[in-house]
Amino acid sequence: MTQQPDHQPNHQPNHQPNHQPNHQPDQLVIRGLHVAVEGQEILKGVDLTIGRGEIHALMGPNGSGKSTLGYAIMGHPSYEVTAGTIELVAADGTRRDLLGMEPDERARAGVFLAFQRPMAIPGVRLADFLRHAVTNVRNPERKEGQELMPMKEFRSELKAKMSELSIDSEFARRYVNEGFSGGEMKRAEILQLAMLQPRFAILDETDSGLDADAVRLASQSIARIGGAGGDAASGANAMGILIITHHEQLLEHNVPHRTHVMLGGRIVESGGAELAAELHKRGYERIRAAYPDAAAAERAMEESTRNQEAAGV
Amino acid sequence: MSDEHTMTTAAPKSPAPIPAPTGFDHLLLDRLLAGSSLPDWAVKLRRDAVDRLDTLSLPGRGEENWMRTDLRMFQPRAWVSAAERPATSGGAIPSGLLESATQGAAAVAGTVAFGGRIASLDGHVVRDELDPALAGQGIVFGAPERILAEHGERFRSRWFSAVDGRADWFAAMHAAFHRAGAVLWVPAGVKLTAPLHVLSAITPGGLDTSHVLVVLEEGAEATVLTETVGGGESGSDGGFHCGATEIVVGRKASLRMVNLQNWSRGVWHFARQRAAVEAGGRLQWTLAALGSRLSQVQQDVALVGRGADAQVNGVMFTEGRQQLVYNTLQHHMAPGCHSDLLYKGALQDRSRLVWRGMIKVDKAAQKTDGYQRNDTLMLSREARSDSIPGLEIEADDVRCTHGATSGRVDEEQIFYARARGLTADEAARLVVAGFFQQVFDRITIPPVREALSAAIGGRIRRVS
First to last CA, chain B: 35
Q: Which residues of A touch B453 (CB under 8 A)?
A: none
In a domain, B111, yes or no: yes
Q: Tell me if residue A174 falls in helix, strand or coil.
A: coil
Query: Contact A132/B419, CB-based, under 8 Å?
Result: no
- Whether residue B449 lies within 8 A of chain A, CB to CB, comes out as no
CA A180 to chain B, closest CA, distance in angstroms equals 15
In a domain, B7, yes or no: no
Please give the radius of gyration of chain B, using alpha carbons only, rounded to the nearest integer. Answer: 22
Neighbouring residues of A215: CB distance < 8 A, sequence distance ≥ 6: A207, A247, A249, A250
- Find the closest chain B residue to A143 by CA distance: B423
Q: Which residues of B touch A193 (CB under 8 A)?
A: none
Q: For residue B111, give the DSSP letter.
A: S
B405-409 long-range CB contacts below 8 Å, 24 or more apart? Answer: B405/B374, B405/B375, B405/B376, B406/B375, B406/B376, B406/B377, B406/B378, B407/B375, B407/B376, B407/B377, B407/B378, B408/B377, B408/B378, B408/B379, B409/B377, B409/B378, B409/B379, B409/B463
In a domain, B272, yes or no: yes
Q: What are phi and psi of B232, to 5 degrees?
A: -115, -175
Q: Which of residues 238-257 of A touch B (CB under 8 A)?
A: none
- Whether residue A311 lies within 8 A of chain B, CB to CB, comes out as no
Band of pLDDT at residue A306, cut at 50, 70 and 90? confident
CA A187 to chain B, closest CA, distance in angstroms equals 16
pLDDT given for residue B16 in this prediction? 58
Give the tens place of pLDDT for each residue, A96-143: 999 999 999 999 999 999 999 999 999 999 999 999 999 999 998 888
In a domain, B14, yes or no: no
Q: Tell me if residue B271 falls in helix, strand or coil.
A: strand
Q: Which residues of chain B have pLDDT under 70?
A: 1-17, 90-91, 462-464
- Find the closest chain B residue to A109 by CA distance: B421
Band of pLDDT at residue A13, cut at 50, 70 and 90? very low
Best of A38, A116, A132 to disrupt the B interface (most B CBs within 10 Å) is: A132
- Find the closest chain B residue to A174 by CA distance: B434
pLDDT given for residue A16 in this prediction? 44
Q: For residue B168, give the DSSP letter.
A: S
The structure's pTM equals: 0.85
CA A107 to chain B, closest CA, distance in angstroms equals 5
- Whether residue A67 lies within 8 A of chain B, CB to CB, comes out as no
Asked whether residue A15 carries a pLDDT value surpassing 70, the answer given is: no
In a domain, B22, yes or no: no
Backbone angle region of B129, left / alpha / beta, with phi > 0 → left and psi within -120 to 50 → alpha:
beta
Q: Residue A104: which of B423, B436, B437 has the nearest Cβ?
A: B423
In a domain, B16, yes or no: no
In a domain, B220, yes or no: yes
Domains of chain B: total: 1
> Distance between CA A204 and CA A68 in Å, rounded?
10
Q: Which residues of A touch B344 (CB under 8 A)?
A: none
Between strands A175-176 and A121-125, the pairing is antiparallel
Angle at A276 between CA B419 and CA A225, to 5 degrees: 40
> Distance between CA B389 and CA B226 in Å, rounded?
27
Domain range holding B221?
A: 37-78+101-459
Domains of chain A as residue ranges with CATH: 25-111+239-310 (3.40.50.300)
Query: Contact A74/B419, CB-based, under 8 Å?
Result: yes
- Nearest CA to B464 out of B425, B406, B418 is that of B425
Contact A108, A137 (CB under 8 A): yes
Q: Tell me if residue B126 falls in helix, strand or coil.
A: strand
Q: Which 3-state string (H, E, C) describes A33-58?
A: EEEEECCEEEEEEEEEEEECCCEEEE
- Whether residue B418 lies within 8 A of chain A, CB to CB, comes out as yes
In a domain, B86, yes or no: no
> Distance between CA A71 and CA A36 in Å, rounded?
11
pLDDT given for residue A2 in this prediction? 41
Q: What ipTM was predicted for this assembly?
A: 0.90
Give the tens place of pLDDT for each residue, B26-75: 999 999 999 889 999 999 999 999 999 999 999 998 888 999 999 999 99
Backbone angle region of B419, left / alpha / beta, with phi > 0 → left and psi within -120 to 50 → alpha:
alpha
